[in-house]
């Protein structure tokens, strides 16, 4: 804070931090003597030093923020003096004399602070009517017309007298009126002083700075409204007929739009939602008049948000015969869009987006309200575009809200309305993609339950821009466009994972539609979406095993997936064919995973429904075809690349998990993979692949000792050929082969062990 500087009217640079430090030091010093005098029971001296403490608030060069910090320090010190004054009064010191004594101060500001303090005690002991004292004090406070000093003085008045108001005085039947009149008078004066805080601004930058500082002090004005809302005797009838009309009259008379917006927001925040519901038309009338002059839409949006939360929790709170939607709609309809006092298309869309969210929350079953709002939006936006206007980014974001908000309450049926298509047609291709992404997010967050694929037809139309290349662009788009498509692909993957249709057949139909759309994308864009689609398709093979709630899985012929298996695996072949030239290693892994899935599908089906020879043979053939395709992909695309060992190990590991292949087929693929390993370029990779191949021929179902020995022998022969050129690597690899041989204790590996020992001696 010490480095904060300002410039006074004469152009002299003022160090605000230094001024504040000096003022705080003086306050601390005088407060020490004040407390000392109070401890000694010397009221006269305590008042003298208390007067000195308050005198520092006469500072005129401090910014509002620094002045507030000084005020809080003074306020805390005055609390000690107030307590001492109260104790002295209880001991018999006449309050009337104190009331007269504090008015003898040389300076008006400290005099009034001490007068407020004494007046509060005067009211507390009830020597005189509270109304008389309060009226006397509030009239005297008019003597301070400096905006900042006067504003803080009136804030102090509210703080000190907040519990001294006559709103519940049993001896005063007019107490609530007197208390309100006092607070309302103080509010008017505080508001006038607050507005004057930036009256001396000479340029735009200075104006903005002053507006910011003034808003920081808005709580000093709002404190009056908060205290009015806290009056014990404040009832709905008094609020509706007396309090609110006077407050709104002050708002309407303001020419400062920032102040209007702030005070309206204070009214909405201070008073109860129940009061707002019963005075909705009056508040909206003033709020809408402010919207016409400035972009004060946030005030109305905040009120709608509050009311939606309150009404949802307390539906019985709506007054009988009151249609909340109709009240809002009747006040929003006359708002001008263009012209000198119009809010502009951005403001209009922001307001309607908030109104639609409010309506969808309160009236989820009344489609007509949603249609009424959106049809009005379509007409206004069409007129704006026809007149040559455009929608900026902020406006388009509100269009997104307008299109997606109904999904939360109306589900997918809201997409069948004509206004959606009309509104989307007005957007450019980039924003249509943004709409599509938002639709996906809204559908996922709403957790919509979909009964059949026909329910998704309209939805797929709206997200179709994600699967299209914008006009004027080729499929070989630039790097940035490709990156954008990858971002969109992430949302497509989320959609694939999230959509759950009640029947497996409907789910698969949805996947087929998505497959066709995804494969129209650039290759870079579908490298993640297609594998995601494949994973979810394979899950359908095992969906019949999932329990429904707490129930056990249903085991009926109608729930068997066997009629869907061939189409699902056919889709898997198509997806892997599209991927293999772009991501060959990943494609090999996908093909092996499909082969394992065929094996698991046959095994699980037999467990649930019994063995069926024809189904088992079909799955064996499917598994065989996937393994063949994996080998072809390895030979054509993977062989010779950096990750060939990784792919080969994955293939060997997958083959070990496949149990229902015939011994002949298993041996065929095992030897093929072993030979791939023997033909790898690097010596170290060859040895690693042959070691892994040993386990392929020694799993729980398929055992072939001769081929295990063949793999070991191939590895040893390679070591013999390289023993002189690469001794260290050979020594390390021989040790690994020896460990593999020892782990197969049921196989006669004496010959292998002898050869290893001889080679180790040579090394």
E strand or H helix that includes residue 5: strand 5-7
pLDDT of 204 reads 60
pLDDT score of 754 more than 80: no
E strand or H helix that includes residue 13: strand 13-15
Alpha carbons 272 and 128: distance in angstroms, whole number: 33
Minimum mean pLDDT among 30-44, 69-83, 142-156, 682-696: which range?
A: 682-696
Domain boundary among 111, 128, 145: 128
pLDDT of 749 reads 66
pLDDT tens figures, 562-586: 788 999 999 999 999 999 999 999 9
What is the 3-class SS of 328-386, one letter each residue?
A: HHHHHCCCCCCCCCCCHHHHHHHHHHHHHHHHHHHCCCCHHHHHHHHHHHHHHHHHHHH
pLDDT score of 201 more than 60: no
Most confident of 13-17, 708-712, 723-727: 708-712
pLDDT of 229 reads 94
Q: Which residue has the higher pLDDT, 726 or 283?
A: 283
The pLDDT-based confidence of 292 (bands split at 50, 70, 90) is: low
The pLDDT-based confidence of 414 (bands split at 50, 70, 90) is: confident
Region 344-355: mean pLDDT is 90
Buried residues in 241-258 as b, exposed as e (16+ CB within 10 A): ebbbeebbebbeebebeb
Region 733-753: mean pLDDT is 68
Minimum mean pLDDT among 236-250, 346-360, 490-504: which range?
A: 490-504
What mean pLDDT, rounded, does the chain reach? Answer: 83
Alpha carbons 356 and 576: distance in angstroms, whole number: 45
pLDDT of 152 reads 96
> How wide is the angle at C-alpha 716 spanned by C-alphas 713 and 717, nearest 5°?
85
Domain boundary among 128, 153, 173: 128
pLDDT score of 714 more than 90: no
pLDDT score of 90 more than 90: no
Region 362-384: mean pLDDT is 88
pLDDT score of 552 more than 50: no
Minimum mean pLDDT among 463-472, 546-555, 654-663: which range?
A: 546-555
Q: Is residue 99 part of a domain?
A: yes
Q: Number of folded domains in the chain?
A: 2
pLDDT tens figures, 224-247: 999 999 998 899 999 999 999 999
Region 542-558: mean pLDDT is 52
Q: Is residue 269 part of a domain?
A: no
The pLDDT-based confidence of 479 (bands split at 50, 70, 90) is: very low
Region 426-431: mean pLDDT is 80
Alpha carbons 461 and 628: distance in angstroms, whole number: 38
pLDDT score of 740 more than 80: no
Q: Is residue 41 part of a domain?
A: yes
pLDDT of 722 reads 64
Positive or negative, the CA dihedral 243, 245, 250, 254 is positive
pLDDT score of 294 more than 60: no
Minimum mean pLDDT among 303-307, 585-589, 693-697, 752-756: which range?
A: 752-756
pLDDT of 172 reads 59
Most confident of 141-155, 162-176, 678-692: 141-155
What is the CATH number for 8?
1.20.58
Six-digit token pair at 542?
A: 């095992």
The pLDDT-based confidence of 68 (bands split at 50, 70, 90) is: very high
Q: Domain residues for 521? A: 428-525
pLDDT of 556 reads 44
pLDDT of 6 reads 53
Q: Which residue has the higher pLDDT, 333 or 104?
A: 333
pLDDT of 558 reads 45
pLDDT of 246 reads 96
Q: Which residue has the higher pLDDT, 419 or 316?
A: 316
In sequence order, what DSSP letters do the residues of 628-687 get, joined into one string? HHHHHHIIIIITTSTTHHHHHHHHHHHHHH--SS-HHHHHHHHHHHHHHHHT-SSHHHHH
Domain boundary among 75, 109, 128: 128
Torsion of CA 205, 211, 213, 217, to 10 degrees: 170
Is-contact 267 229, C-beta < 8 A?
Answer: no
pLDDT of 706 reads 84
Six-digit token pair at 449?
A: 């339950």
pLDDT score of 472 more than 50: no
pLDDT of 626 reads 97
Q: Is residue 643 part of a domain?
A: no
Q: Which residue has the higher pLDDT, 609 or 621?
A: 621
Task: Look up the pTM and report it.
Answer: 0.74
pLDDT of 742 reads 66
pLDDT score of 496 more than 70: yes
Q: Is residue 597 part of a domain?
A: no
Alpha carbons 208 and 337: distance in angstroms, whole number: 26
Q: Is residue 43 part of a domain?
A: yes
pLDDT of 12 reads 55
E strand or H helix that includes residue 22: helix 16-39
Q: Is residue 113 part of a domain?
A: yes
pLDDT score of 162 more than 80: yes
Region 106-112: mean pLDDT is 90
Q: Is residue 478 part of a domain?
A: yes
Find residue 127's DSSP bridge partners.
none
pLDDT score of 728 more than 80: no
Question: How much of the chain exceeds pLDDT 70, in percent?
Answer: 83
pLDDT score of 28 more than 70: yes
Strand runs labelled E in 465-545 = none
Six-digit token pair at 629?
A: 């395709």
Q: Which residue has the higher pLDDT, 472 or 560?
A: 560
What angle do helix axes 324-332 and 280-293 make, rounded to 10 degrees? Answer: 30
The pLDDT-based confidence of 553 (bands split at 50, 70, 90) is: very low
Question: In the structure, how many helices (H) and strands (E) does the chain have?
Answer: 36, 2
Region 483-505: mean pLDDT is 78
Q: Which residue has the higher pLDDT, 667 or 487?
A: 667
Alpha carbons 522 and 514: distance in angstroms, whole number: 15
């Amino acid at each position: 804070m010490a480095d904060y500087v300002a410039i006074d009217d004469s152009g002299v640079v003022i160090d605000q931090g230094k001024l504040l430090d000096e003022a705080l030091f003086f306050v601390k010093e005088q407060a020490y003597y004040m407390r000392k005098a109070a401890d000694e029971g010397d009221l006269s001296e305590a008042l003298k030093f208390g007067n000195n403490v308050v005198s520092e608030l006469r500072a005129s060069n401090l910014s509002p923020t620094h002045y507030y910090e000084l005020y809080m320090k003074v306020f805390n010190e005055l609390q000690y003096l107030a307590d001492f004054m109260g104790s002295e009064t209880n001991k018999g010191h006449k309050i009337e004399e104190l009331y007269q004594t504090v008015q003898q101060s040389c300076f008006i500001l400290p005099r009034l602070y001490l007068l407020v303090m004494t007046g509060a005690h005067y009211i507390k002991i009830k020597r005189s009517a509270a109304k008389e004292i309060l009226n006397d004090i509030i009239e005297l406070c008019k003597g301070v017309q400096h905006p900042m000093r006067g504003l803080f003085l009136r804030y102090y008045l509210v703080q000190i007298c907040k519990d001294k108001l006559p709103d519940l005085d049993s001896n005063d039947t007019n107490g609530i009126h007197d208390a309100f009149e006092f607070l309302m008078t103080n509010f008017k004066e505080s508001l006038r002083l607050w507005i004057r805080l930036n009256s001396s601004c000479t340029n735009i930058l200075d104006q903005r700075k002053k507006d910011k500082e003034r808003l920081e002090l808005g709580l000093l004005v709002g404190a009056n409204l908060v205290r009015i809302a806290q009056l014990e005797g404040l009832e709905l009838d008094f609020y509706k007929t007396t309090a609110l009309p006077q407050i709104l009259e002050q708002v309407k008379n303001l020419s400062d739009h920032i102040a209007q917006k702030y005070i309206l927001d204070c009214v909405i925040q201070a008073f109860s939602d129940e009061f707002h519901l019963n005075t909705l038309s009056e508040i909206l009338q003033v709020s809408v008049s402010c919207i016409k002059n400035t972009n004060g839409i946030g005030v109305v949006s905040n009120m709608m948000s509050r009311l939606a939360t309150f009404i949802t929790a307390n539906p019985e709170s709506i007054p009988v015969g009151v249609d909340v939607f109709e009240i809002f709609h009747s006040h929003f309809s006359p708002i001008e869009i263009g012209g000198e006092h119009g809010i502009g298309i951005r403001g209009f869309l922001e307001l309607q987006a908030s109104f639609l969210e409010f309506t969808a929350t309160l009236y989820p079953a009344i489609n007509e309200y949603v249609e009424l709002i959106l049809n009005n939006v379509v007409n206004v936006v069409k007129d704006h575009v026809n007149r040559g206007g455009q929608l900026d980014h902020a406006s388009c974001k509100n269009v997104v809200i307008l299109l997606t908000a109904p999904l939360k309450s109306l589900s997918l049926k809201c997409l069948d309305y004509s206004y959606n298509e009309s509104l989307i047609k007005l957007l450019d291709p980039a924003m249509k993609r943004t709409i599509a992404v938002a639709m996906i997010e809204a559908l996922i967050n709403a957790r919509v339950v979909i009964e059949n694929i026909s329910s998704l037809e309209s939805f797929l139309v709206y997200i179709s821009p994600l699967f299209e290349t914008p006009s004027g662009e080729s499929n070989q788009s630039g790097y940035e466009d490709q990156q954008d498509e990858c971002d969109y692909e992430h949302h497509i993957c989320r959609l694939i994972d999230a959509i759950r249709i009640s029947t497996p057949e409907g789910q698969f139909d949805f996947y087929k539609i998505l497959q066709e759309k995804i494969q129209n994308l650039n290759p870079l864009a579908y490298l993640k979406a297609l594998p995601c689609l494949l994973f979810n398709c394979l899950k359908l093979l095992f969906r019949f095993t999932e329990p429904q709630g707490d129930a056990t899985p249903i085991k009926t012929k109608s729930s068997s997936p066997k009629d869907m298996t061939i189409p699902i695996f056919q889709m898997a072949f198509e997806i892997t064919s599209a991927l293999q030239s772009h991501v060959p290693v990943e494609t090999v892994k996908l093909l092996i995973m499909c082969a394992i899935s065929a094996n698991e599908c046959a095994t699980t089906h037999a467990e649930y429904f019994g063995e069926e020879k024809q189904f088992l043979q079909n799955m064996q053939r499917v598994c065989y075809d996937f393994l063949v395709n994996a080998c072809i992909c390895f030979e054509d695309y993977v062989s010779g690349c950096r990750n060939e060992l990784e792919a080969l190990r994955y293939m060997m590991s997958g083959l070990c998990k496949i149990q229902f292949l015939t011994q002949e087929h298993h041996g065929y693929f095992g030897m093929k993979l072993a030979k791939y390993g023997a033909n790898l370029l690097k010596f170290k990779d060859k040895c690693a692949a042959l070691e892994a191949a040993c386990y392929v021929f020694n799993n729980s179902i398929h055992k072939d000792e001769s081929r295990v020995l063949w793999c070991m022998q191939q590895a040893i022969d390679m070591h013999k050929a390289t023993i002189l050129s690469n001794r260290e690597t050979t020594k390390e690899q021989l040790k690994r082969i020896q460990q593999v041989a020892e782990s197969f204790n049921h196989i006669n590996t004496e010959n292998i062990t002898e050869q290893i020992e001889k080679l180790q001696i040579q090394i």
